[in-house]
Amino acid sequence: MRFQAGNVGAWTIDRLDAVVGEALPQAPRLEVVDDRHRHPATPTWLLRGFTSNERYVERQERSALTAVQQPLGRADATRAALIPVRKSDAWWELTQDDRRTILEERSHHIAIGLEYLPAVARRLHHSRDLGEDFDFLTWFEYPPAASDAFEELAIRLPSTEEWSFVEREVDIRLTRVTS
């Protein structure tokens, strides 16, 4: 997927804030496009990522998630967030069991996210293996009524041990353009 900021796009960028490290340039709109589409316009910035198999979720967590999670594109989910994150080399040098222990056993990343389902739908994109500036691009969609809940989620996760490995994070909030 490609997240392209510029003058065109189906989403209005309401705000774009640096959380850790450098921000991204401001722009009025964001377009989310499949890699197969050609987009001749020169964007203000462009972030690329791919969806992939799950890296940490275990069997019981998968069951709990799939029982309640909702798809992207719901008619009432007119708010979105794009959160690009880069983790430190120290994170990537950890072994799988160490990363899992920090992510879930100690930071409860999956369990915290589960509390905000089904209101908040989510899709993770991997960028690190493409040589991008960020490691992950997480895309969230939620109805306006879930905005306060999402703000809470956006505060809880960064206060965990896992986030001590985050060396760059940008928080981008969006509203779908009504046509």
In angstroms, the CA 13 to CA 36 distance is 24
Supply the minimum distance, in Å, between the C-beta of residue 90 and a copy of itself: 12
Q: Which two tokens stand for residue 35?
A: 């890699």
Q: What is the C-alpha to C-alpha distance for residues 36 and 39, in angstroms, rounded to an integer?
A: 9
Q: Locate tokens 């589960």: which residue?
A: 114
| Nearest-approach distance from CB 111 to a copy of itself, in angstroms | 15
DSSP secondary structure code for residue 144 in this structure:
G
How far apart are CB 140 and a copy of itself at their closest, in Å? 22
Question: In the complex, what is the shortest distance from the CB of residue 102 to a copy of itself, in angstroms, rounded to a whole number?
Answer: 12
Q: Which is nearer to a copy of itself, 117 or 149 (CB)?
A: 117
What is the CA angle 34-140-147, rounded to 5? 145
Whichever of 26 and 52 has its CB closer to a copy of itself, that residue is 52
The nearer residue to a copy of itself, 100 or 123, going by C-beta atoms, is 100
Residue 174's DSSP bridge partners are 13, 80
77 vs 146: CA distance, rounded Å? 9
Contact between residue 104 and residue 152 where contact means Cβ atoms under 8 Å apart: no
In the complex, the residues that contact a copy of itself under the rule CB under 8 A are 50, 52-59, 61-62, 92, 95-98, 100, 126, 128-129
Cβ closest to a copy of itself, residue 60 vs residue 178:
60
Closest separation in Å from C-beta 27 to a copy of itself: 27
Q: Which residue, 95 or 179, has its beta carbon nearer to a copy of itself?
A: 95
Residue 64 · residue 114 · CB < 8 Å: yes
